[in-house]
Structure 1
Amino acid sequence: MCVVAIALDCHPRWKLVLAGNRDEFHAREADPLGRWAEAPQVLAGRDLQAGGGWLGVSEEGRLAVVTNIRNPDGPDPAKASRGALVGDWLIAGKAPEMAALPGFNPFNLLLTGRDGATLLSNLPEPQRVPLSAGIHGLSNGHPGEPWPRKTSMEAALSGWIDRDATPEELFALLRDESLLDDGGVPIFIKAPVYGTRCSTVVLVDHQGQGSITERRFQPDGSDAGEVRIDFRW
């Protein structure tokens, strides 16, 4: 994932609302949202190059989403896949030990479970921060670093809550191609080589009834399919 906003315990109907875009090379193969064969309780897409995930939920009451932190030199192939962090949490509720965080390329990892929500990151140093009720954003900067895409998504989700808008409007927010002031990168990136591959919305109400919906896109921005799976926590 490259831009995500999540609202925790701040909506009269929804206990959790997440909206995010995954940006990736279009040539990098991935499975769409679905149940994982070895762990059917996991509802997530899957990167077929490294085998991990980028965003998903477990019917056992967990959610995970990871974003990379931009590195001008690119990822170190000798380090562990960041997508494995998502799989470990969704399959077994296993969060990484602090000492293990430097072994991954720079990342932000947001985990939610029955004990609350936590943000982990390894840049500029390993850190684990509990998240309170409210709106939180992730993008390709480290926690606390100004990042226009993250700020824009947080503001858009806040406005959605204030308007008590429909879930469908979350997908409209994720399709925003307006240029931002971070070098002209919009929320939705339409480009032939690297761009927004899918948009995902997760909604869980205060009774634990939830859904995860993924819309996929072609390099030209046209629709490439949609999957929705309902679940209960």
Structure 2
Amino acid sequence: MCLAVLALHALPGIPVLIAANRDEFHERPTLPAAQWPDAPDIYAGRDGRAGGTWMGATAQGRYALVTNFREPGRFRDNAPSRGALVEDYLRSAETPAGYLARVHEADQAYNGFNLIVGDTRQAWYLSNRDGGPRALAPGVYALSNHLLDTPWPKLARTKAAFAAVLSRGPQPDLPALMAALADRVPADDADLPATGLPLDRERLLSSPFIVSPNYGTRSSSVLALRDGGAGQLDERRFAPDGSVNGESELTFSWRTADGGDRPR
């Protein structure tokens, strides 16, 4: 996952709304978003090489997502999978705060990451490049390959497009959110972040939707957890040329793990 905009406990009737692009090498095997056969409470895509996932939700109203932290020269081949951090949370019954506290104790073993975990009551954020876990107040957040709400041009543009969709009415237009994720316009060179990559690579990665033969946006996803127990995960998948090569539309019911009433 390389770009996500999240409305967390900020919309009437929708405690969780996330629109996100996953950028990855095209040769990396990936399973489409689905209900997992070995964990039927989980709804997510799956990494076919290391296992784990970049974003998912559960029938208990839990969700999580991870992005890599861009830091050329610091990548370690022997580090544990960052996608496992999402899977482990979705499989667990730990509170968001408790889970991130435990992850934080060993987070330097991983390559750089940003991790958001939550449920329909609370949300927490942890980066192993930015101190310890912190609770997220209700609001709209954006995340890419630096720290939460770092104002990279691609992030600022997608967050503004997300906010524009939300401003049109009480029920967000999910196709319009997908359209907001499809922006292929790169940032001006003068606005590019300096992350240590060559200029042509910074330019390629500066658009919200990335198209190149080897690496690019593999999927766009919209996740919504609504009051009353309705969940939805839509995923659109893309070929190296940016054309659509698959879609999943998952609907599911969620109920809090403690058996309490669903919010209404």
Task: Tell me, yes or no, whether TM beats 0.5.
Answer: yes
Counterpart of 1:39, as a letter, is A
Query: Which stretch shows the higher mean deviation, 156-165 or 221-230?
Result: 156-165
Aligned residue in 1 for 2:160: 155
Residue 223 of structure 1: CA displacement? 0.8
Q: SS in structure 1 opposite 2:219? A: strand
Which residue, 108, 112, 117 being the options, matches 1:111? 117
Residue 10 of structure 1: CA displacement? 2.2
Rounded to whole Å, the distance in 2 between the matches of 1:150 and 1:117 is 20
Q: Which has the higher strand share?
A: 1
Which residue, 159, 169, 173 being the options, matches 2:180? 173
| 2:127 corresponds to 1:121 | yes
Residue 159 of structure 1: CA displacement? 1.3
**Cα displacement string for residues 181-220 of structure 1 (whole angstroms, at most 9, x for unaligned residues):** 3243211111111000000001122223120011000001
Which residue, 179, 203, 207 being the options, matches 2:224? 203
| 2:225 corresponds to 1:218 | no
Rounded to whole Å, the distance in 2 between the matches of 1:178 and 1:93 is 41
Counterpart of 1:75, as a letter, is F
Summarize the alignment of residues 131-142 of structure 1 with structure 2, pairs less than 5 Å apart: 131-142=136-147
> Is the CA contact (8 Å cut-off) linking 1:101 and 1:126 kept in structure 2?
no
Rounded to whole Å, the distance in 1 between the matches of 2:9 and 2:32 is 28
Residue 152 of structure 1: CA displacement? 2.0
Rounded to whole Å, the distance in 1 between the matches of 2:93 and 2:218 is 27
Rounded to whole Å, the distance in 2 between the matches of 1:34 and 1:211 is 11
> Is the CA contact (8 Å cut-off) linking 2:219 and 2:237 kept in structure 1?
yes
Aligned residue in 2 for 1:9: 9
Residue 142 of structure 1: CA displacement? 2.1
Counterpart of 1:179, as a letter, is P
Residue 115 of structure 1: CA displacement? 4.2
Residue 64 of structure 1: CA displacement? 0.6
Structure 1 residues 144 and 211, CA gap change in structure 2 (3 angstroms): closer
**Cα displacement string for residues 133-185 of structure 1 (whole angstroms, at most 9, x for unaligned residues):** 11011100123643222222222211111122511100100111122232432
**Cα displacement string for residues 85-140 of structure 1 (whole angstroms, at most 9, x for unaligned residues):** 010011114524121111111000011125400011100x4321101111011100
Structure 1 residues 143 and 170, CA gap change in structure 2 (3 angstroms): closer
Query: Which stretch shows the higher mean deviation, 140-149 or 209-218?
Result: 140-149
Rounded to whole Å, the distance in 1 between the matches of 2:252 and 2:207 is 31
Rounded to whole Å, the distance in 2 between the matches of 1:13 and 1:193 is 40
* Cα RMSD, aligned residues only: 1.6
> Is the CA contact (8 Å cut-off) linking 2:61 and 2:120 kept in structure 1?
yes
Rounded to whole Å, the distance in 1 between the matches of 2:13 and 2:4 is 20
Q: SS in structure 2 opposite 1:88? A: helix
Counterpart of 1:102, as a letter, is Q
**Which protein is bigger by CA-based radius of gyration?**
2
Aligned residue in 1 for 2:105: 99
Residue 13 of structure 1: CA displacement? 4.0
Equivalent residue pairs, number: 232
- Structure 2: segments with no counterpart, 5+ residues: 193-201, 255-264
